[in-house]
Amino acid sequence: MGKSVALGCIVLILVGVLVIGGMAAGAYNKLNAADQAVSAAWAQVENVYQRRADLVPNLVETVKGAASFEKETLTQVIQARASASQIKLDANAIKDPANFQKFQQAQDQLGGALSRLLVTVEKYPELKASQNFRDLQAQLEGTENRIAVERGRFNDTTQVYNTLRRSFPTVIVANFAGFKERPFFKAAEGSEKPPAVKF
């Protein structure tokens, strides 16, 4: 009698371990998938920022051609681009909030310098009218819009991950396996909308 009870207990414990282990494995896989989705979204974010950085030399070259163009505005753009390009973060490095904040600051600075440049150009009608500049402006606006889109999608996937990480049974697995809360983009003034320079 006592033997069979002990046996029953062992079986019960075994089943319990299996069930809990299965749940833990499922939670781990889900977390991993959500984590990968954030990394994929980050790759897109990097792409569009790189796209903007690639546009800058061309823009600077075109604007320089206009006589007596404000040197200071141009220098600011060039410097902001240089410091933004220095901060390259792979999918792992952005898990650190401090890194992430640095990246965002540098990119927002470049965005700000670029929109100041576009405002300054308003004073140069012949530059504004040139086909070359108009094409560049369309590309720049498109890129700013892409940045807004990919940042938004990155934030969405990060939110999905963070919510999953914080939800009940998963949070235990997350703490065990070292899945941390991930940082996301904060709205900086002017960075939410593409520069509204129209003509």
Per CB under 8 A, contacts with other proteins among 45-64 are 48
75 in contact with other proteins (CB under 8 A): no
The 8-class DSSP code of residue 190 comes to T
- Least distance from C-beta 174 to other proteins, angstroms? 14
* 145 near other proteins (CB under 8 A): yes
For position 81 contacting other proteins by CB under 8 A, the verdict is no
Does residue 136 bind other proteins (CB under 8 A)? yes
Measure the CA–CA gap between 19 and 84, rounded to whole angstroms.
49
Long-range contacts of 106-110 (CB under 8 A, 24+ apart): 106/80, 107/49, 108/188, 108/191, 109/80, 109/83, 109/84, 110/52, 110/53, 110/56, 110/77, 110/80, 110/81, 110/83, 110/84
Q: Which stretch binds other proteins (CB under 8 A): 35-43, 68-76, 98-106, 130-138?
A: 130-138
Within 66-130, where are the H helices? 71-86, 97-121, 125-129
CB of 6 to other proteins, least distance (A): 29
> Any idea which residue has 């934030």 for tokens?
155
Query: Whole-number minimum distance, CB 183 to other proteins, in Å?
Result: 16
Q: Which is nearer to other proteins, 101 or 167 (CB)?
A: 167
Which residues sit at the interface with other proteins, rule CB under 8 A? 44, 48, 134-136, 138-139, 141-143, 145-150, 156, 159-160, 163, 167-169, 193-194, 198
